[in-house]
Amino acid sequence: MVSEPRSRVTQRVPTAPVDPKTTPVTFLGRAKLDLGSDKVAAVEDGARRLYRHRAEAVAEYPAMEEMRARARAGRMSALRNLDRLLARFADQVEATGGKVWWAGDAAEANAIVTRIAADAGAGLVAKSKSMVTEETELNHALEAAGIEVVETDLGEFIVQLGNDRPSHLIAPVLHTTRYDVARLFADRLGVAYTDVPEELNDIARTHLRRVFLSADVGVSGVNIGIADTGTVILVTNEGNGRFVTSAPRVHIAMMGMERLVETVDEAAAVLEVLARSGTGQRLSVYTTMLTGPRRPGDPDGPDELHVVILDNGRSRVLGSNVAEVLACIRCGACLNVCPVYRRVGGHSYGSVYGGPVGAVLTPALEGPEQWADLPYASTLCGACREVCPVGIDLPGLLLASRANTALRGGLEPGLRRAVRAYAAVAARPRAWGLALAAAGQTARLLPGKGWIESLPWYGSAWTDSRHLPRPAARSFRQRWKERRSGA
């Protein structure tokens, strides 16, 4: 029974991490690979659809603004008291029979999970969708220890089979068509080709059902932890989150340390805004609240509950000028509305967290060295702040992130020099006036009349897709002076 699901899933190659040698190292470089592709067109369609669903759900819920404010307050207050809340949460988890583990970084978290799984004699781990285990690349660690791990969220299962990467916080295969999935299932699961979504769904159901019922260990993430009660909340639509926490003998929940709220009331506020903002549902299909392992007399549920609490850069973010980003509840609304995300998809961000929130979070978590340009991957249009269910000032955080990374590789050196030169002139009104006059004169020397159609070098970045207005022969200030002296 236990070995049965090791059918074809084991034959796949491990999920590839971002390989800096073969992947462009800049956001723009990665984005250009996907720009205009069918893959990104699918992302844009999906993102727009989720955005519309959100708009409808928000419009029909009269308490939306009240609950947004309450969710925001709960999250901000949790971050301001995080050391105290973590201690209380851990005490409560242990008081209800769970075990708490503290992991400073990804490697430690993976080692803890691997050890628990090995101690449980696990040959097979069933995993429900979790961004934090994507962040730590837990699957590699388990596989390296000879433990098979199967993703059970349909989207993540497709990602795993295809050796792909998720491209959206809540819709991992937004970039994939059903024909891709059809070919993948036919190749990897040995089933007859079908591209009917309902039939693909049934294939996954049958395949994964055996995984759920024979896995020794279930691994999940955590959507919300409640400090007052030691409760772990999981939110899923498919039911995989319930299966991996109900059928296997051991449940391991990995939690980013910032997932907490203090009270049940605050958790309720987060739940009321989470699904509405993410998919436009009033609630996701399954909201599971787990408080400790199976209790005496319980007919089912795991005998052991382990909660692995992960720092992995979060305490550094907490002490930084972008601490507010830790309030994120991972609904994905900021991705769906973002004009940049819609055009480039999630893979361009290079890390597991994409979109505006990822552009702030990734350099903050991992340091600016590799990610300095991410905060610049935004037009600062502010649509993300408008939809954020916990009111995170994402444009403000993107600006703060730019200030953090501008001089550490974030700002292209030529642009940096240009902005600095501009600033030097702007600080002196006389120089400014002369510069405007000079620009007006120079502009006359450029070919043509009216708009400038083409410029060399840095200028081409603009003129490749837009004409450039010609500096006015007489600036406003010159005209003003003339008018006043004439009057």
Partner 1 sequence: MERERFLAAVAANVTAGVLPAPPPITTGPPSLPDVDLIETFCTRLGVIGGHAHRCAIGEAVRQILDLLGEHAATAVLAWDDLPVPRLASLLQESGVELLASSMPADRGERAAHLGGYLGLAAGLTGADAGLAESGSVVLSHGPGRPRLASLAPEVHIALLPASRIVRSLAHFLAADPVVVARTANLVVITGPSRTADIEQRLTIGVHGPRHIHVVVLDDA
Partner 2 sequence: MLRVPPVQLLVTCLVDALVPGVGEAVVEVLERRGLDVAFPEAQTCCGQPAFNAGLSAEAARMAAHTVTVLDATEGPIVVPSGSCTAFLVHHAPELLAGEPEAEAAQRVAGRLRELSLFLSDDLAEDVGMEAVESVRVAWHPSCHGLRELGITDEPHRLLAGVEGVERVEIAGADECCGFGGLFSVEMPEISAAILRAKLDAIEASGAEVIAGGDVSCLLHIGGGLRKRGSAVRVCHLAELLAGRAEGW
Which residues in 98-157 contact partner 2 (CB under 8 A)? none
Q: From CA 130, how far away is CA 153, in angstroms rounded?
A: 9
Q: Which of 3, 10, 32, 482 binds partner 2 (CB under 8 A)?
A: 32
Q: Which does 29 bind (CB under 5 to 8 A by kind): partner 1, partner 2, none?
A: none
Among partner 1, partner 2, none, residue 77 binds (CB under 5-8 Å by kind):
partner 1
Binding letters toward partner 2, positions 271-300, x by CB under 8 A: ------------------------------
395-454: contacts with partner 1 (CB under 8 A): 400
The span from the CA of 279 to the CA of 47, in Å, is: 10
| Window 227-246: residues binding partner 2 (CB under 8 A) | none
State the Cα–Cα distance between residues 221 and 152, nearest whole angstrom.
13
Binding track over 159-198 against partner 2, x by CB under 8 A: ----------------------------------------
Q: What are phi and psi of 282, to 5 degrees?
A: -70, -45
Site for partner 2 contains 55 (CB under 8 A): no
Q: Which of residues 364-423 bind partner 2 (CB under 8 A)?
A: 375-383, 385-386, 399, 401-407, 410-412, 415-416, 419-420, 422-423
Stretch that binds partner 1, among 15-23, 45-53, 441-449, 451-459 (CB under 8 A): 45-53
Q: Which does 28 bind (CB under 5 to 8 A by kind): partner 2, partner 1, none?
A: partner 2
Please report whether residue 315 would count as binding partner 1 according to CB under 8 A.
Answer: yes
Residues 75-114 that bind partner 1 (CB under 8 A): 76-77, 79-83, 86-87, 90, 96, 100, 102-104, 108
The pattern of x and - marking residues 440 through 479 that bind partner 2 according to CB under 8 A reads: x----------x-x----x--xx-xxxxxxxxx-xxxxxx
Whose Cβ is closer to partner 1: residue 46's or residue 410's? 46
Q: Are 355 and 171 in contact (CB under 8 A)?
A: no
Residue type, 484: R
CB of 377 to partner 2, least distance (A): 7
The residue assigned the tokens 């030691």 is 230
Considering only residues 18, 268, 437, 455, which one is a binding residue for partner 1 as defined by CB under 8 A?
268
Instruction: Point out which residues bind partner 2 (CB under 8 A).
Output: 27-28, 31-32, 35-36, 339-340, 343-344, 375-383, 385-386, 399, 401-407, 410-412, 415-416, 419-420, 422-423, 425-429, 432, 436, 439-440, 451, 453, 458, 461-462, 464-472, 474-481
